[in-house]
Amino acid sequence: EAGVTQFPSHSVIEKGQTVTLRCDPISGHDNLYWYRRVMGKEIKFLLHFVKESKQDESGMPNNRFLAERTGGTYSTLKVQPAELEDSGVYFCASSQYRDRKPMTQYFGPGTRLLVL
Amino acid sequence: RKEVEQDPGPFNVPEGATVAFNCTYSNSASQSFFWYRQDCRKEPKLLMSVYSSGNEDGRFTAQLNRASQYISLLIRDSKLSDSATYLCVVIVYGGSQGNLIFGKGTKLSVKP
C-alpha cells in the first residue's frame, strides 16, 4: 500500500512569491492533517480536513496560507505571498476513523521550503 | 509554558546501554499519548502508544503517569539503529479532533 506522498520534496523561492505544496494521503483515509516544523521549534499543527471539509484550522498562522482538499482526496497548501518566516518543513499526515476517533497518523516525507 | 516539554539531549550512549527519556505535558485534558521516532531529515513515525498501565514492545517500555502529567520511554540494550530523535506527542480531543501536539524531541546517539 502506498504511503502519504508530498510534492515537491524541496522548494526554494524568493520572498513575495507563491508556493503550492501538495499532499496525497493514503487511499481511504478521510483525515488529512498539515503540520509544520520551523527550525529550532517543535512540529506544530496547521489544520485538519475530514474528507473535503476543514475540521480545524486553528493552527494556520495567517491568511497568507490557504489549504484546500477538493473532492476529499489530495490536498494543497498555498502560501501567498511567502515570507522569510515561512521557511521550514511542511508535513502532511493522514488517518482513518475508528469508533468516531481518528486513528494512527501516517506522515509523508515532508516538503522543505526555503524562502530567501 | 510549552504544551509538551522534553529534554533535548543529546543523549550519547554506548551500544547495549539502557537509556530513559522523560516528557511532561501541561494540559490535564490530554487523552492520548505517543512516542514517535524521527530519523534525520525524515518524517516522524509512530514508535508506540503509551497507556497508564504501562506497555512494552520488545526493548522499548513506555509509561504514563496521569497524576504527574509525565510520560517516559525506556530503551534497553541500545542498538546503533536506535539513533534518532524521539518525539513525545499528546492528543487533546474535543474541538481539535485529534491533532497531534509535539514536544521538540530528544536526540539519541548510540555509539559502537
Asked whether the beta carbons of B98 and A35 are under 8 A apart, the reply is: no
Per-residue pLDDT at B92 = 82
Is A10's pLDDT higher than 90?
Answer: yes
Q: Output phi, psi for A84, to 5 deg.
A: -55, -40
To probe the interface with A, which of B34, B40, B43 has the most A CB atoms within 10 Å? B43
Per-residue pLDDT at A106 = 93
Per-residue pLDDT at A100 = 67
**Chain B neighbors of A31, CB-CB under 8 A:** 98
Residues B82, B93: Cα–Cα separation, whole Å: 31
B50 touches chain A (CB under 8 A): no
Is B93's pLDDT higher than 90?
Answer: no
Query: Which helix (H) or strand (E) covers residue B84, if one does?
Result: strand B84-91
Residues A31, A33: Cα–Cα separation, whole Å: 7
B44 touches chain A (CB under 8 A): yes
The string of pLDDT tens digits covering residues B30-46 is: 888 999 999 999 999 99
Which residue in B has a C-alpha nearest to residue A46's C-alpha?
A: B99
Residues B47, B79: Cα–Cα separation, whole Å: 15
